[in-house]
Structure 1
Amino acid sequence: MTAEHHGIALLPVIMLLAVGVIAVPLFKRLGLGSVLGYLAGGIAIGPFGLRVFAEPASILQVAELGVVMFLFIIGLEMHPSRLWGLRRQIFGLGLVQVIVCAIPLTAVGVVSGFPVAPSFVAGAGFVLTSTAIVMQLLEERGEVSSVSGQRIVCVLLLEDLMIVPLLALVAFLAPIAPGSTASHHGIDWSAIGIGAGSVAGLIVAGRYLLNPLFGILANARAREVMTAAALLVVLGSAYAIQLGGLSMAMGAFVAGVLLSESTYRHQLEVDVEPFRGILLGLFFLAVGMSLDLHVVATSWRMILCYVAAYMAVKALVIYIVARVFRSSHREAVDRAVLMAQGGEFAFVLYAAAASTGIINGEQNAVLTAIIVLSMALTPIAIVVVNFVRGRRQPSTEEYERPSGLTGTALVIGFGRVGQIVSQFLLARGYEISIIDTDVEMIDVARGFDFKVYYGDGTRLDILHAAGAGHARVVLVCVDKPDDGTKITELLKAEFPLLPVLARATDRRHSIALIKAGADLQVRETFESAVVLGAAALETLGTEPAEIAEISAHIRERDEQRLQLELVGGMNAAKALFSGKSGQPTGPGAREEP
């Protein structure tokens, strides 16, 4: 039997999966990111490629659920108190960025000869950044929870809210039909009331119904029902908000926030995550399919000019707004590049404008192509910025370099380890000098009144300028093992009597630091594991004296293995590790590398 006998067309499904499996790893290997891989794959199998899919709009409608689920998961991370604390960022930074961006983007269309109404619609659509692309890129970079990432999330939330008044403006700007005596529509207060009522209803339901519902389902101990309930909450809340005239993504976000303090939060996240990943990839594929290559071929000069103009103007305005709100140069550049594209809500806005006669069908196709191309160019722009940033040294004018420092202690590296180490020294009143090459970390330190100098500890002249010759101790806390080893070698060669205390990432790094002359090396993985293991024994009721004895025995045994490996006795170390009675053996007993 063939699949057609059952009415199932397997080839499109197979092609979607194949494109994702092939394109995404390839583009990530090239350093271009998964988003561009999905977009390129969508173009390849769309109506203007292999023509596996003739109507990408139908796929896009389903794939938008990926964005919905993404916002739900983001909402789960946003506790109401945390969201309330970000209100100034959302309605301050977000609103200013949207308004200030809309004005020059509208001016681009007016200057190029288009009427004000179509120019405003085109510019306003480009203001709405792609939540899907930006959140995916932030997630790949691990910056969703960072300070800069949270500011971007706040702006994206405000932009999602702005789709409602923008759609109302489209209706207000709609031209009057010939022969009609009706004036422009006024403010639709009933629609606003329905929207507000849908949000209020969702908040009430989430606060008083969701937790009891999940409690009942959890007692039933049916795993598949919990998964179905998680999807029901996401899709139901999105649909309820959509009925009120708002965006589905906003409804899912509100539901996530309401469940962020629930005891079932982690379970919900696990249940929704697989669907989110697949549907979000499908969304990017559908966006790629939506790119009308015939329109691009016919009007490619105009499209490229508008893509360049819109992206340049929006990036410049975002940078200026970020600097006005006291973001660092690096953070402002990152935000400008990440958010310089148009977004998926622009498709909705342009479709509404076309239906009311503000723009015609050809203009809608051109604007859609502009948005899709801008989305495709964003990952490439990020790669270019990172390449330029990697080749260029930070400006001396912006980041002060060390010169003649005389601190009692010199801390090299102000990351997670260096920050904690510094607190011990400052608590005792010692004067410390700190250097680092991570300009973003230096900017963060400035916000907390920490004086961190830009300096590369692998350079001997920088070590002299940072006061290594005057310090009584140097703490090497850099992230990269090779850099830590080289810094230690330089310090012990130039200042042999100077105590050097170094952070090690693993045992191999510890051995390298010992050979380099470090007076003390501390493995972060080992020390954290010892503390965690002791806490586990305490939780299980073990006496403190016995815990201390076990900890001391494990430390002694680890030191023996370290010394054996240091002199090349790897076989003896393995025998010591596996042959003692009462000690763990087998695959589960592997030590850190």
Structure 2
Amino acid sequence: MFDVIFLLLAAVVVVPVLQRFGIPSVLGYLAAGIVLGPYTPGPVVDLETTRPLAEFGVVFLLFAIGLELPLSRLRTMRRYIFGLGLLQVAVTALVLAGLGHLVGLAIPLALVVGTTLALSSTATVLALLVERNEALSQHGRISVSVLIFQDLAVIPILTLLPLMAASGHDILPALGLAAGKAVLAVLAIFVVGHLFLRPIYAFIAASRSPEVFTAATLLLVLAVAWATSEAGMSMALGAFLAGLMLADSPYRHQVESDIEPFRGLLLGLFFMTVGMSINLPLVASRGGDVLGLTLAVLAVKTLVILGLCRILKIAWPQGLQVGFLLAQTGEFAFVVFERAIGLRLLDARTGQILLAVTALSMVLTPVLAVMGRTLSRRFARHESEDLAPSGVGHLTNHVIIAGYGRMGRAIARLLKRHDIAFIALDQDADRVIQARRQGLPVYFGDASKPGVLRSVGIGGARAVVVTVGALRQSERTIAAVRHAVPGMPVIVRAKDRIHEDHLNKIGATAVIPETVEASLQMARQVLRSAGIGDEDVESSLDAYRSTRYGGGKPD
């Protein structure tokens, strides 16, 4: 109980503090584990007491990955998942394995280490993409596709490790045995799952008992994990297969919600046990080796990914962002290296250095992402000179749309339906190219630049619509329009009330908050379902908008 209390206390105190400085929660849990480990002063938690429970964190993580991979998603993204993803893991693993063999690792172990270092941090990359609103961008979709294949690659690695330990590092028989067992396990589990799983879940869901539904999910995960473990494979493989069985079922989202607390807490506990096993004095004494190896891994992965992107005809701007974004080593490296040390495939000293390299590379991810973004923009400007607006400055009575994302495209379609001329500006070269191929007047440019506004005829425009989500970009665009044509109507998108108030103060003619309009759309449906006539519904909504956007306070 004393050990558990200290583990929870360290997680509650250390992780939120580090997250305030932009450090991912994975590294926060590692830091909390280091604080409680035997290599630092202060309280020491018994590692062997917590390790068995922490192993379930990996099991639930692999189950969640399986849930995220329905066949429909794999088909949609197959070019990048099984094209770029497969090539990235294979080529990077071979290059890093070759370097590992040169410094003294046996070939089978060098392949495992190289493949593990080839993987990237799903949690860190996705957090950065969501934070910057880039998850649906071209480089965001490519990055997510590669991460999906990397997650799949973890399964054979974890399956292979115990076989390598038992076979004296004889990798070919181990690979053959692993492949044979994996095929039989997949067939057996999927046949049983197809026949019984959905009817059982339908029966349980009909009982309307949330705790029984959660218990059924826990039973499924642990039972299938136990079955693959008894067959000589990893529990992680069984959990992954259990997730795949439910990925295309109607119960997927409820299951995902139910296991989220277990997954988060147990996975955090796993990373804390990894932190407890890190020998800080040893790592500090080999600081030069850790830094040099980290830089080598980052350089190799960036160059390999960039080269493969060019081979697959992915534009330089997107390739640069993907390369720098995926350069780090991921959280699965902690799982694999910790397991390899426990199986005595890796000696403790080498394992400690590799764990430190993984942590340092993850810390550097935000810096690498900024570097990739900066270089990408320089290449985008160079490649997009022919996409810049030219010969349209004479237009009059048209609407200028700043930002051609989902909202900008919707506005453009409505303007076109009413035969109102428009010109759209966007800084995503890929998005501009796609629109131009459709014959649309979309150009590459920054609407906050006076020269760009002049080139699209700001003097003769009837209005400017700003749909970009970033507050600073909206501010700069409003200022540039006001400087060029003080009386120009400027309609701006806002995320919330705070955003709305600020944009109103700096000169926007009208600010449309996303949250308000979403609420009104929901209210429309609620009123209709309550039997209110369409005319009364629209009258009520119009009155609300008139009061809301007219500066008053709605009732």
Relative to the length of structure 2, the TM-score reads 0.82
Q: Distance in 1 between matches of 2:41 and 2:117?
A: 29
* AA partner of residue 60 (structure 2): M
Q: 1:492 Cα deviation (Å)?
A: 4.2
Mapping of 1:82-481 within 5 angstroms?
A: 82-112=73-103, 116=107, 119-129=110-120, 147-163=141-157, 167=161, 170=164, 174=168, 186=173, 189=176, 191-297=178-284, 299-325=286-312, 326=314, 328-339=318-329, 343-347=333-337, 350-351=340-341, 354=344, 364-386=347-369, 388=371, 394-395=377-378, 396-400=381-385, 402-404=388-390, 406=392, 408-426=398-416, 432-437=422-427, 441-446=428-433, 453-481=443-471
Unmatched runs of 5 consecutive residues or more in structure 1: 1-9, 177-183, 356-362, 566-572, 578-593
Larger CA deviation: 334-343 vs 79-88: 334-343
SS in 2 for 1:296: helix
Q: Distance in 2 between matches of 1:186 and 1:393?
A: 45
Q: 1:283 Cα deviation (Å)?
A: 1.8
Q: 1:248 Cα deviation (Å)?
A: 3.5
Q: Distance in 1 between matches of 2:54 and 2:131?
A: 20
Larger CA deviation: 257-266 vs 110-119: 110-119
Q: Is the 8 A contact 1:485 1:512 kept in 2?
A: no
Q: Distance in 2 between matches of 1:219 and 1:521?
A: 46
* AA partner of residue 114 (structure 2): G
Q: Distance in 2 between matches of 1:278 and 1:380?
A: 22
Q: What is residue 35 of structure 1 aligned with on the other side?
A: 26
* AA partner of residue 527 (structure 1): E
Q: Is the 8 A contact 1:95 1:158 kept in 2?
A: no
Q: 1:388 Cα deviation (Å)?
A: 4.8
Unmatched runs of 5 consecutive residues or more in structure 2: none
Q: 1:35 Cα deviation (Å)?
A: 2.0
Q: Is the 8 A contact 1:295 1:365 kept in 2?
A: no
Q: 1:404 Cα deviation (Å)?
A: 3.6
Q: Deviations over 1:23-51 (max 9, x none)?
A: 11111111222222211111111121247
Specify which of 47, 54, 58 is matched with residue 63 of structure 1: 54
Q: Is the 8 A contact 1:41 1:288 kept in 2?
A: yes
Q: Deviations over 1:445-501 (max 9, x none)?
A: 545657865543333233223432354442221224564355335424422565544
Residues 550 and 385 of structure 1, relative CA distance in 2, 3 Å threshold: same
Q: Distance in 2 between matches of 1:189 and 1:353?
A: 20
Q: Is the 8 A contact 2:402 2:468 kept in 1?
A: yes
Q: Deviations over 1:204-246 (max 9, x none)?
A: 2322222222233234443322221111122223333344454
User: Percent of aligned positions with the same letter in both sequences?
Assistant: 32
Q: 1:134 Cα deviation (Å)?
A: 5.7
Q: Distance in 2 between matches of 1:175 and 1:481?
A: 56
Q: Distance in 2 between matches of 1:512 and 1:121?
A: 53
Residues 492 and 499 of structure 1, relative CA distance in 2, 3 Å threshold: same
* AA partner of residue 150 (structure 2): L
* AA partner of residue 535 (structure 1): Q
Q: Distance in 1 between matches of 2:419 and 2:232?
A: 59
Relative to the length of structure 1, the TM-score reads 0.78
Please say which structure displays the higher CA radius of gyration. 1
Q: Distance in 1 between matches of 2:480 and 2:123?
A: 47
Q: Deviations over 1:229-285 (max 9, x none)?
A: 111122223333344454434433332232234333332222211111111211221
Q: Deviations over 1:534-579 (max 9, x none)?
A: 1123334x25xx23313313422442355454xxxxxxx4xx72xx
Residues 310 and 263 of structure 1, relative CA distance in 2, 3 Å threshold: closer
Residues 354 and 285 of structure 1, relative CA distance in 2, 3 Å threshold: closer
Q: 1:291 Cα deviation (Å)?
A: 1.3
Larger CA deviation: 513-522 vs 21-30: 513-522
Task: Give the count of matched residue pairs.
Answer: 539
Q: Deviations over 1:94-144 (max 9, x none)?
A: 321122112221222344466655544543443345666666776777777
SS in 1 for 2:377: coil
Q: Deviations over 1:156-201 (max 9, x none)?
A: 233224416854994799479xxxxxxx974675553322111112
Larger CA deviation: 515-524 vs 473-482: 515-524
Q: 1:410 Cα deviation (Å)?
A: 2.0
Q: Distance in 2 between matches of 1:214 and 1:119?
A: 44
* AA partner of residue 318 (structure 1): I
Q: Distance in 2 between matches of 1:69 and 1:53?
A: 27
Q: Is the 8 A contact 1:160 1:247 kept in 2?
A: no
> Please, what is the CA RMSD of the aligned residues?
3.8
Mapped pair 1:24 → 2:12 = no
